Copies of this chain bind each other. A is one copy, B any other.
Amino acid sequence: MTEDLPFNPYAADCPSRGLVDRIGDKWTILIIGVLSEGPARYRDLADQVGGISPKMLSQTLKALERDGLIVRQAFAEVPPRVQYELTEAGRTLQPLLLGLETWAREHMPGVLVSRERYDGAA
């Protein structure tokens, strides 16, 4: 054993933490946001998220697929067509992310005020 403390749910190495880090990721949140409105193609995602590089897009999509939160469906056509879609598990994230977004919008003004006061009191 490394520690003899009872149990610390806030430890940095708590297994669930990895998952939270993943879905809390900037691009991940945005991508899931877009997919919440329905299936989308690679290009759609690139356009709607905006500012994401192809590298980060495919990287993030791959991670989400690996975790079973989205599915990738490639059609054998020319030109190629690939569609991404939330899985059932992925859809369970919607209320959470919506809650986060709502919180952010509600508290944005107060936070801004607090920052000004803090910075002003230099």
* A17, A29, A104 pick with most chain B CB within 10 angstroms: A104
Please tell me which one of the listed residues B8, B16, B25 contacts residue A48 in the complex, with CB atoms under 8 A apart. Answer: B8
A118 close to B49 (CB less than 8 A): no
Cross-chain contact B10 with A110 (CB below 8 angstroms) = no
CB of A79 closer than 8 Å to a CB of B: no
- Contact of A66 with B by CB under 8 A: yes
Q: Give bound CA distance, A45 to B26, whole Å.
A: 26
Kindly provide the distance from the CB of A25 to the nearest chain B CB, expressed in whole angstroms. 8
Q: How many A residues touch B, CB cutoff 8 Å?
A: 51
Name the B residues within 8 Å of A66 (CB-CB): 114-115, 118-119
Q: Is the CB of A108 within 8 A of B51?
A: no
Other-chain residue from B8, B23, B48 in contact with A10 (beta carbon distance below 8 A) = B48
Within 8 A of B (CB), among A90-106: 92-93, 95-96, 99-101, 103-105
B19 and A104: CB pair below 8 A?
Answer: yes
